[in-house]
Chains A and B, each alone.
Chain A
Amino acid sequence: MMQQALIPVFALLCSMLAAAIIFTLPEERQRLRTVINLLAALIKVALVGVMTWGVLNERDYGLSYEILPGVSFVLQADALAMMFAGLSAVLWLLTTIYAVGYLEGSPNRSRFFGFFSLCVASTMGIALAGNLFTFFLFYEMLTLSTYPLVVHRGTDKALRAGRNYIMYTLSGGAALLLGIIWLQGLVGDISFQETGQLKDVDENLHLPLMLVFGLLVAGLGVKAALFPLHGWLPQAMVAPAPVSALLHAVAVVKAGAFGIVRVVYDLYGIEFATLLGVLEPLGWLAAFTIVYGSVRALSQSDLKRRLAYSTVSQVSYIVLGAAVFGPVGTVGGLVHLLHQGIMKITLFFCAGNYAETLGIHKVQELNGAGRRMPLTSAAFTLAAFGMIGAPPLAGFVTKWTLGSGALNVGMEWVVAVLLISSMLNAAYFLPVIHRLWFLSEYEWSYQRRWGRLETHSWLLWPPLVTASLTLLAGLFAVLPFSPLSWAELIAAREYLP
């Protein structure tokens, strides 16, 4: 059916169109811009919802268009794509609301929201990409559209961070491109498919395929902030809070992690990748990144930096899950794609609220902020406990499934890594929570008031919604359409013979 093929295109176009309109709007047309932004975001949520329902019922949403002989542009919506697309659609809506409140009255908003929409369009493209070439197109588009967001403030520090960011990601992109071309040379143009495409290749292609895997992972690992390619991430937190939130939760790091998941499951196929023996080093690298990120987070006194290192650590859970063979481990990794997203976005929203309302940037300035901003702090507390992995929150579901998946296949060291990481998470989050609720108030340099609410209502609602999602995702983990059941659906389709 034609309409079915068009839905993914519409989902892509709606934010691109929004970007085009917003770029042409004059700076002062704030209301119109907000309406367009929200409208596009809502349409996208609706489209993704329709596709999700269709994918659940095994409908096919595909579109293929040959650009050059042997190189085609493929969009397709499978269960894994819908997971990422759903995450980005929902969180984009919330982040748009948040950003409108956050940037109220600041300059260059047309530019900001234009690139913001472009960035989300590329995320959507990454989600729906049906082969590596399409994936790469959107992957690079994401790099280019996030750069103006990172340097939005235009300060020296921001420009430096931006330069760094672009250096990292472009060279990552180069590595990825080389990998793609090499792969194309080896096996031709292949699209992503559940259970993988490479199982039946010739034996003597195994070595080059291993090297290609290394290149692809190196290219994707830059965005996924795998050690030692994570250096840009803590610097990029100079960006405005909504950008950091999106960067850390959905757009950039997730694009990298999602790419790795795609390569492992839908390109190589988990069984073939295990056969090649590339998963074990990947698992060790992820495990090291998990611990390393947490250790580094411990010594950060800047709240956003601490959160950034925490991202380095948490995103690697996804990669670790991909590296654990067996459906339960897969579920653990995939489900964290969503869980980490909602938890980390909550934390960054809250950090932004503290900065905007009380001028808080350092951890020690958080003393007593719980009394002044109870709802924000409650959201922060929930998300932080989720990160630690305390039940019944989302993070626990990840940890539990990842742990049992690893035990099922005899990888006890994964459990040890999980425990160490949780302990470190507790060590850098619990003191923050303690400061929030139990210490007497810090003398904040300035306080802004918004009537009865503790902060601007557009800043307050998004973290509350995502924090509730964190709770609900854990509390009702087995219900249909919960992150866990969706991840189980994907895993069931990935391991089918």
Chain B
Amino acid sequence: MMVWVLLAVCLPLLPVVLALHPALQRWQWRLLPLVSLPALGLVLLGPAQWQLGLPGLLLGANWQLDALRQPFLLLTALLWSFAGLYATGYVKRCRRSFALFWGLTLCGNLGLVLAADLVSFYAFFALMTFAGYGLVVHERTSAAFRAGRVYLVMAVLGEMALLAGLLLAAGTANSLLLADLSVAIAESPRADLIMVFLLVGFGVKAGLLLLHLWLPLAHPVAPTPASAVLSGAMIKAGLLGWLLTLPLGQTSQLVTGTVLVLIGMLASLGGALIGVCQRQSKAVLAYSSISQMGLMTLMLGVALAVPERTVWLLPVIGTFALHHALAKGALFLSVGIRMPNHRLARWLYWGVIAVPGLSLAGLPLTSGAHTKLAMKQALQVDGLVWSLAPWLGNLLTAGAMATLLLVLRFLWLQVRNTNRNESGPCMQMGWGLVLMASLLFPWFAPELPAAITTTLADHVTYWMALIWPMLVALFMAGMVVAIRLRAPEVPAGDLVVLLEDSVKKARGRSRVSVSIRIGGKRVEWLQKALVCRVQPAETGLRVHIAGSVLILALLFFLL
């Protein structure tokens, strides 16, 4: 067991090892799709529950698999394996660098799912974050570097918040095990502070509203398989972090929970709203991810506010994460698939591309309907402030509409701008496998609490409730096309652009004011204090300090 687990987590480091010797470097690329197979084997064939203590590692490591981690491990292993296969056909340049960062990021992602102690969790999380930068900037274009910069700045901020949260949490829990944190945080007098740190720290990864800025920039510029894992698997790492650390199922955190519910609502609708105004298909998908993560944030908020619902909501969140990872992965990967020439094949092609999108919107008999039904039942709660509870159901309906609009926007952009490059067998196979996994989802979906019924028969029974929002969305899209309404253009990364502009303006303004008040000493001084004054001050310090220390010392002595 131990060997298997270690192999599953460490084999992704193979490209790093192979990079050490020139003779082995050509294997880096060839072995790329194989590195995630042990993990896939572990989750498909291995036991569903285990614990592994590695007392010599880090500050005493502990890894485990349980019902909560199972869907996350499954989605990570599936998506990375198939996207890896896809990548071998997709990536043409800088392959060795790609393989290196792919392996490192994968190792981080797999490890954090299995980690049961705080230090190894944080270590794997950081590895994934920093190695992920290599995937984002892979194309080495200026757009990629800009996205990378935003990614990195936000990631560092996130890591710092996370470190603060984990330090505080570990201090109160007096333990390094993740399982001990939630009780300790719930009882801590600083619970709110810790929760804010953790929410922000993981929120950067999970695309929490206002912390999502890097997502729509990074996804379009990253190579397609990398966007698929970024949006499918890595974004879920933030979610898993929340599930593992926040005080779920303890005392009710009404305020935090309600705020999260509101943020989730806003993200699920606002993300879609900005998403339909995008000009790039991958940016549309990125906003769709933000919107979907909003729904998961919402469920998390409900679970925090209404602790007795936690046992229902946790499995539903896991199911949702798995469903979204596969469907979104399939959508992302389809971007690089070539449109066939034959007319009939073309119809089939569009149909197949559209299915995961429709699944996201909740088409009956798909994974989407499965999750939507489960969510609807799990979210029938009371106990939220401002009588938010009854609105949750309506929100889901509105969310389905918004999702379908996004999917239609994506298809629209794809049709006009479809890929005409050759897509090799590896790519088609990788895409096909993710698609297949997404379609077969209801048959291997994680087990839900007995009270929630989502059999295929239910899909049929509730087909009307599932279908009508989609029909409305279709009608709206049709109207938009008919009256030739053009969406206003919102740049990808929305607020980032504003931030960048204001920084530029602030810089420009300070320059202007200096040139206007060139004689004004105050402005000049302020400028220089930051840039130039420190240097001479330090020099002066250097010249005088030795003497002053001596004099001080003498004075002291005389005293």
Same complex origin of A and B = yes
**Binary interface encoding of chain A residues 402-440 relative to chain B, with 1 for a CB under 8 A from any of its CBs, else 0:** 011001100000010001001100110010001001101
Within 8 A of A (CB), among B22-60: 55-60
Contacts of B164 in A (CB 8 A): 415, 419
B335 to chain A, nearest CB (A): 24
**With contacts A171-B547, A374-B19, A477-B59 known, is A392 near B167, CB below 8 A?**
no
| A404 contacts B119, C-beta separation under 8 Å | no
Q: Give the complex CA separation of A172 and B548 in angstroms.
A: 11
| Chain B residue with Cβ nearest A422 | B160
Q: Give the number of residues in B that approach A within 8 Å (Cβ atoms).
A: 47
| B557 contacts A178, C-beta separation under 8 Å | yes
Contacts of A354 in B (CB 8 A): none
| A231 contacts B541, C-beta separation under 8 Å | yes
| Chain B residue with Cβ nearest A218 | B549
Contacts of B119 in A (CB 8 A): 391-392, 400
| B163 contacts A211, C-beta separation under 8 Å | no
Q: Give the complex CA separation of A248 and B60 in angstroms.
A: 31
B122-130, B283-291, B297-305, B433-441: which lies at the interface: B122-130
| B60 contacts A478, C-beta separation under 8 Å | yes
**With contacts A182-B557, A392-B123, A419-B164 known, is A175 near B58, CB below 8 A?**
no
| A214 contacts B56, C-beta separation under 8 Å | no
Contacts of B167 in A (CB 8 A): 400, 403-404, 407, 415
Cβ of B512 within 8 Å of any chain A Cβ, yes or no, is: no
A244 to chain B, nearest CB (A): 18
| A479 contacts B545, C-beta separation under 8 Å | no
**With contacts A171-B547, A392-B123, A408-B171 known, is A478 near B553, CB below 8 A?**
no
Cβ of A174 within 8 Å of any chain B Cβ, yes or no, is: yes
**Binary interface encoding of chain B residues 323-355 relative to chain A, with 1 for a CB under 8 A from any of its CBs, else 0:** 000000000000000000000000000000000
| Chain A residue with Cβ nearest B155 | A426
Contacts of B396 in A (CB 8 A): none
Q: Tell me the interface secondary structure of chain A in the complex.
A: helix
Q: Give the complex CA separation of A434 and B156 in angstroms.
A: 14
Cβ of A385 within 8 Å of any chain B Cβ, yes or no, is: yes
| A218 contacts B553, C-beta separation under 8 Å | yes
B100 to chain A, nearest CB (A): 10
Contacts of A484 in B (CB 8 A): 59
Cβ of A486 within 8 Å of any chain B Cβ, yes or no, is: no
A137 to chain B, nearest CB (A): 19
Contact of A171 among B123, B148, B538, B550 (CB under 8 A): B550
Cβ of B444 within 8 Å of any chain A Cβ, yes or no, is: no
Within 8 A of B (CB), among A196-238: 211, 214-215, 218-219, 222, 228-229, 231-232, 235
Q: Give the complex CA separation of A178 and B550 in angstroms.
A: 10
Contacts of B19 in A (CB 8 A): 374
Q: Give the number of residues in A that approach B within 8 Å (Cβ atoms).
A: 55
Cβ of B150 within 8 Å of any chain A Cβ, yes or no, is: no
Within 8 A of B (CB), among A366-417: 374, 385, 389-392, 396-397, 399-400, 403-404, 407-408, 415
Contacts of B542 in A (CB 8 A): 164, 168, 231-232, 235
Q: Give the complex CA separation of A193 and B459 in angstroms.
A: 77
| B58 contacts A477, C-beta separation under 8 Å | yes
Q: Give the complex CA separation of A29 and B329 in angstroms.
A: 66
Q: Give the complex CA separation of A389 and B134 in angstroms.
A: 19
| B557 contacts A172, C-beta separation under 8 Å | no
Cβ of B2 within 8 Å of any chain A Cβ, yes or no, is: no
**With contacts A174-B550, A396-B123, A422-B160 known, is A407 near B58, CB below 8 A?**
no
Contacts of A232 in B (CB 8 A): 542
Cβ of B6 within 8 Å of any chain A Cβ, yes or no, is: no
| Chain A residue with Cβ nearest B101 | A437
**With contacts A164-B542, A171-B550 known, is A479 near B556, CB below 8 A?**
no
| A231 contacts B55, C-beta separation under 8 Å | no
A359 to chain B, nearest CB (A): 25
Contacts of B546 in A (CB 8 A): 167-168, 170-171
Contacts of B56 in A (CB 8 A): 476, 478-479
Q: Give the complex CA separation of A365 and B60 in angstroms.
A: 41
Contacts of B503 in A (CB 8 A): none
B551 to chain A, nearest CB (A): 9
| Chain B residue with Cβ nearest A412 | B168
Interface contact tally, CB-CB below 8 A: 119
Cβ of B170 within 8 Å of any chain A Cβ, yes or no, is: yes
Q: Give the complex CA separation of A152 and B350 in angstroms.
A: 73
| B123 contacts A419, C-beta separation under 8 Å | no
Q: Give the complex CA separation of A281 and B538 in angstroms.
A: 22
**Binary interface encoding of chain A residues 165-187 relative to chain B, with 1 for a CB under 8 A from any of its CBs, else 0:** 00110111011001000100000
Q: Give the complex CA separation of A228 and B171 in angstroms.
A: 34
Contact of B160 among A170, A214, A419, A475 (CB under 8 A): A419
**Binary interface encoding of chain B residues 155-196 relative to chain A, with 1 for a CB under 8 A from any of its CBs, else 0:** 011011001100110110000000000000000000000000
**With contacts A174-B550, A397-B59, A438-B140 known, is A419 near B163, CB below 8 A?**
yes
| A426 contacts B156, C-beta separation under 8 Å | yes
| B556 contacts A178, C-beta separation under 8 Å | yes
| B130 contacts A175, C-beta separation under 8 Å | no
Q: Give the complex CA separation of A215 and B541 in angstroms.
A: 19
Q: Give the complex CA separation of A479 and B534 in angstroms.
A: 44
| A407 contacts B545, C-beta separation under 8 Å | no
**With contacts A392-B58, A404-B171, A476-B56 known, is A211 near B550, CB below 8 A?**
no
Cβ of B552 within 8 Å of any chain A Cβ, yes or no, is: yes
**Binary interface encoding of chain B residues 516-554 relative to chain A, with 1 for a CB under 8 A from any of its CBs, else 0:** 000000000000000100100011011001110110111
Q: Give the complex CA separation of A292 and B550 in angstroms.
A: 24
A408 to chain B, nearest CB (A): 7
Cβ of B369 within 8 Å of any chain A Cβ, yes or no, is: no
Cβ of B401 within 8 Å of any chain A Cβ, yes or no, is: no
Contacts of B60 in A (CB 8 A): 478
Cβ of B91 within 8 Å of any chain A Cβ, yes or no, is: no
A425 to chain B, nearest CB (A): 10
Contacts of B122 in A (CB 8 A): 391
**Binary interface encoding of chain A residues 46-59 relative to chain B, with 1 for a CB under 8 A from any of its CBs, else 0:** 00000000000000
| B170 contacts A478, C-beta separation under 8 Å | no
**Binary interface encoding of chain A residues 282-311 relative to chain B, with 1 for a CB under 8 A from any of its CBs, else 0:** 000000000000001001000000000000
Cβ of A474 within 8 Å of any chain B Cβ, yes or no, is: yes
| A423 contacts B160, C-beta separation under 8 Å | yes
| B170 contacts A404, C-beta separation under 8 Å | yes
Q: Give the complex CA separation of A162 and B546 in angstroms.
A: 14
Cβ of B559 within 8 Å of any chain A Cβ, yes or no, is: yes
Q: Give the complex CA separation of A400 and B552 in angstroms.
A: 37
Contacts of A404 in B (CB 8 A): 167, 170-171
| A422 contacts B541, C-beta separation under 8 Å | no
| B137 contacts A228, C-beta separation under 8 Å | no
Q: Give the complex CA separation of A278 and B138 in angstroms.
A: 52
| Chain B residue with Cβ nearest A484 | B59
Contacts of B556 in A (CB 8 A): 178, 182, 211, 214-215
**Binary interface encoding of chain A residues 466-496 relative to chain B, with 1 for a CB under 8 A from any of its CBs, else 0:** 0000000011111100001000000000000
Instruction: Give the interface centre of B55, B56, B542 by most chain A CB atoms within 10 Å.
Output: B542
Contacts of A175 in B (CB 8 A): 549-550, 552-553
Contacts of A215 in B (CB 8 A): 553, 556
Q: Give the complex CA separation of A374 and B97 in angstroms.
A: 12
B355 to chain A, nearest CB (A): 37
Contacts of B266 in A (CB 8 A): none
| Chain A residue with Cβ nearest B126 | A390
Contacts of B57 in A (CB 8 A): 475-476, 478
**With contacts A164-B542, A390-B130, A408-B171 known, is A174 near B140, CB below 8 A?**
no
Contacts of A167 in B (CB 8 A): 546
Contacts of A403 in B (CB 8 A): 163, 167
Q: List 8 A-B contacts (CB under 8 A).
A: A215-B556, A228-B545, A229-B545, A389-B163, A392-B119, A423-B157, A438-B145, A475-B58
Top 3 A-B pairs, shortest CB-CB distance: A231-B542, A391-B123, A175-B553
Excluding A171-B550, A175-B552, A296-B538, 14 further A-B contacts by CB distance (< 8 Å) are: A171-B547, A218-B552, A229-B549, A235-B542, A390-B130, A391-B58, A408-B171, A422-B163, A434-B148, A437-B134, A476-B57, A476-B58, A478-B58, A479-B56
